[in-house]
Chain A
């Protein structure tokens, strides 16, 4: 082999392997904090702890989980919470962004004020709402528990139980505490969604909206057929984020309701915390986290699919 050929080969090798060496540190970190824990969780989900040590138990953790009331009820509560939280945050985030997208004075001040909830930790947000609605002693208890305002007996938001379910075991209508949890979570997540949507709105050229207006579209039609389809990618990001934070939120439940009254605000994420760190059933918690990961993935895929369909149909408009 000539020197020239050797140099070419060496150059090729360098060119080929340099990127690999450059990304190796990131890969190693990713392996340590993502891949290894995932693999370990999978292994753990088939094991249980006994005085003699860890033992392989097959699908027993999944089976016991399926039979546990915490899990069964958690599914319904999670669905209710997600629907309420994602819907309200998206709608109010959109409306707020729409208002801020107009020519108004002191826009910066409004954005700053509206952004405050996002920088408050979940656990603090929960505590603040709790102090407002604590029965008998809360700041708003005088109003909420006043029978003349909320007949016949007033509402003790944190302790009142859910009305008789309309659909067998499915927890609907939810307890007042679930409404409060949705409200508090929405309040906290609203700034993030609002900001994303405002950014998306401001990227839309003004002339597109003006042409829609010239073409005879009224306000609602312009929003429905022009603004929303153009904002769809940003909306998808917002909805992704809301689904994931909603599915995995623990802090606000921990400090606001503690999963109660009863188990009426115990979402699957809170059940995971309870089973793992409260009951110390790490095997069972690993099984639940596998299920949660799967559900997260399925919901993201479903959202993607729905929004792609929307995107395609908007392209045909």
Chain B
């Protein structure tokens, strides 16, 4: 066969494959048309909030552009962001109706793990930026350093809802200069999800109690705990179970002055604890695989507990309880059902003497990027979503935490077993943002998780204090 013939054949194969690929519809691709709001979400008609920026009646309707991590056009019930997708699908028409003739909400869906970088790059390059950006308060310091979002403090303080904001939610949105770089809508603290049959007497209160119970579970071929123990996702594990452990031992990641501080006696003890539970086989191997696959061991109850964000329930399903009960609606309802049935409960973490169980908390909020074309539209939106009805809808949907408005928390919707257990667990804990005063959290979490992984998995005999010092010096060299 000649070369030409081979190439001709290959080109032919590629052409056929491309044709086949282009003819096969993507599983998640959905028609662009908007569906009317689903029955279970009551349409909340709220009159447009009167703001100083209200446009003249005769003015033409303008686009109000947002970047949310959810896609209103994606109706795939198995999509990761299905709760948020549905929320937007239901809410966009409500907003457009409330602001008819003034604003037309156009959401541009963004990937949750890329949108931060995309916004920073867009602002710095002078490209198109949205009028409003949905964010987690983890990004505040990054945005502050990169001059990405506007300081809303002066404007926010004049709004009626400002006094009703929970103080810790508000604090999470503040930058190192005291400016307010996001408006919190919900708070997402970390808790521990626990299988009742694995820990029938409650989650252990101390490391000693935990070790004893973990040994009993191991004898049954089970694991006491799974957690995000890999270095995947840019070191995201450092914001989850690892921080919960550090904080519960009285430690943390920073010195309160913008520097990383890892080498403290408390942190050394926390690493010793993590090292021991890994070495003794109380943690499944899947915990180190990344890709959020550590959840698998909790879903099939082979691991008895799982320290993670409260919003974790949105993404985990189905479940098989230790007693064989299957929760397989394949939605976030599975977790809520398991909690209501008493198979799963929500707890605070263990702690050492003199310390409260620790955890990370973050605010889910919105920000106005520098260079936004219609900041007044964003102001109108914020005033609209800060009404108790809209705030509750957001929190019960993608917010998946506690309402940032104190008045919303009193609503009937938040009196179920899930919310009450979560409130109790958080009440017993001392939660704070994991990054503290560090201005480069994205860099910090990668360094922290790399050293923790090294100490608990790669080099279980390495000198903890020396490695922690090395890691903090690496970060602080960039200050």
How far is B147's CA from A161's CA once the two chains are assembled, in angstroms?
Answer: 40
B-contact 0/1 string along A210-236, CB 8 Å cutoff = 000000000000000000000000000
Chain B residues lying within 8 Å of A202, measured Cβ to Cβ, are: 1-3, 6
A156 beta carbon closer than 8 Å to chain B? yes
The contact of B296 among A136, A156, A262, by CB within 8 Å, is A136
Q: With A156-B285, A195-B6, A280-B120 as known contacts, state yes or no: A261 contacts B145, CB within 8 Å.
A: no
How far is B9's CA from A278's CA once the two chains are assembled, in angstroms?
Answer: 41
Chain A residues lying within 8 Å of B454, measured Cβ to Cβ, are: 262
B-contact 0/1 string along A107-128, CB 8 Å cutoff = 1100110010001000000000
How far is B17's CA from A261's CA once the two chains are assembled, in angstroms?
Answer: 35
How far is B450's CA from A198's CA once the two chains are assembled, in angstroms?
Answer: 44
B76 beta carbon closer than 8 Å to chain A? no
B291 beta carbon closer than 8 Å to chain A? yes
Q: With A50-B145, A111-B9 as known contacts, state yes or no: A258 contacts B3, CB within 8 Å.
A: no
Task: Say yes or no: B458 contacts A161, CB within 8 Å.
Answer: yes
How far is B147's CA from A69's CA once the two chains are assembled, in angstroms?
Answer: 28
Chain A residues lying within 8 Å of B231, measured Cβ to Cβ, are: 258-263
> How many residue pairs, one in A and one in B, have C-beta atoms under 8 Å apart?
128
B-contact 0/1 string along A271-295, CB 8 Å cutoff = 0001011111110000000000000
B268 beta carbon closer than 8 Å to chain A? no
Within A81-124, the residues touching B (CB, 8 Å) are 107-108, 111-112, 115, 119
Task: Say yes or no: A263 contacts B450, CB within 8 Å.
Answer: yes
A10 beta carbon closer than 8 Å to chain B? no
Task: Say yes or no: A49 contacts B446, CB within 8 Å.
Answer: no
Chain B residues lying within 8 Å of A281, measured Cβ to Cβ, are: 440, 443
CB distance from A105 to the nearest CB of B (A): 13
Chain B residues lying within 8 Å of A159, measured Cβ to Cβ, are: 230, 285-286, 288-289, 457
Chain B residues lying within 8 Å of A168, measured Cβ to Cβ, are: none
The contact of A258 among B121, B124, B177, B230, by CB within 8 Å, is B230
- Which of B17, B234, B285 has the most C-beta atoms of chain A within 10 angstroms of its own C-beta? B285
Within A31-83, the residues touching B (CB, 8 Å) are 49-51, 53, 64, 67-70
The contact of B13 among A64, A112, A274, A277, by CB within 8 Å, is A112
Chain A residues lying within 8 Å of B233, measured Cβ to Cβ, are: 258
A209 beta carbon closer than 8 Å to chain B? no
Chain B residues lying within 8 Å of A259, measured Cβ to Cβ, are: 231-232
Task: Say yes or no: B474 contacts A262, CB within 8 Å.
Answer: no
Q: With A161-B458, A262-B453 as known contacts, state yes or no: A277 contacts B146, CB within 8 Å.
A: no
How far is B47's CA from A23's CA once the two chains are assembled, in angstroms?
Answer: 60
Task: Say yes or no: A130 contacts B291, CB within 8 Å.
Answer: yes
Chain B residues lying within 8 Å of A111, measured Cβ to Cβ, are: 6, 9-10
Task: Say yes or no: A274 contacts B446, CB within 8 Å.
Answer: yes
CB distance from A232 to the nearest CB of B (A): 16
A-contact 0/1 string along B290-319, CB 8 Å cutoff = 110100110000000000000000000000
Task: Say yes or no: B147 contacts A258, CB within 8 Å.
Answer: no
Q: With A199-B7, A259-B231 as known contacts, state yes or no: A158 contacts B147, CB within 8 Å.
A: no
Chain A residues lying within 8 Å of B6, measured Cβ to Cβ, are: 111, 195, 198-199, 202
Chain A residues lying within 8 Å of B442, measured Cβ to Cβ, are: 278-280
CB distance from A145 to the nearest CB of B (A): 8
How far is B454's CA from A261's CA once the two chains are assembled, in angstroms?
Answer: 9
How far is B13's CA from A307's CA once the two chains are assembled, in angstroms?
Answer: 33
Task: Say yes or no: B478 contacts A136, CB within 8 Å.
Answer: no
Chain B residues lying within 8 Å of A282, measured Cβ to Cβ, are: 121, 124
Task: Say yes or no: A280 contacts B17, CB within 8 Å.
Answer: no
CB distance from B186 to the nearest CB of A (A): 25
Q: Who on chain A is nearest to B287 by CB?
A: A159
How far is B124's CA from A50's CA once the two chains are assembled, in angstroms?
Answer: 12
The contact of B289 among A70, A135, A262, A276, by CB within 8 Å, is A135
How far is B6's CA from A195's CA once the two chains are assembled, in angstroms?
Answer: 8
A29 beta carbon closer than 8 Å to chain B? no
Q: Who on chain B is nearest to A201 by CB?
A: B3
Known pairs A119-B17, A261-B288; list 13 more (Cβ under 8 Å): A49-B146, A112-B13, A134-B289, A135-B284, A145-B285, A161-B457, A198-B6, A202-B1, A261-B458, A262-B457, A274-B234, A279-B443, A280-B142
3 closest Cβ contacts across the A-B interface? A258-B232, A159-B288, A135-B285
Q: What are 7 A-B contacts with C-beta separation under 8 Å?
A: A70-B446, A108-B9, A134-B286, A202-B6, A260-B453, A261-B288, A281-B443
Binding site for A on B (CB under 8 A): 1-3, 6-7, 9-10, 13-14, 17, 114, 116-117, 120-121, 124, 142, 144-147, 177, 230-234, 284-286, 288-291, 293, 296-297, 440, 442-443, 446-447, 450, 453-454, 457-458, 474, 477-478
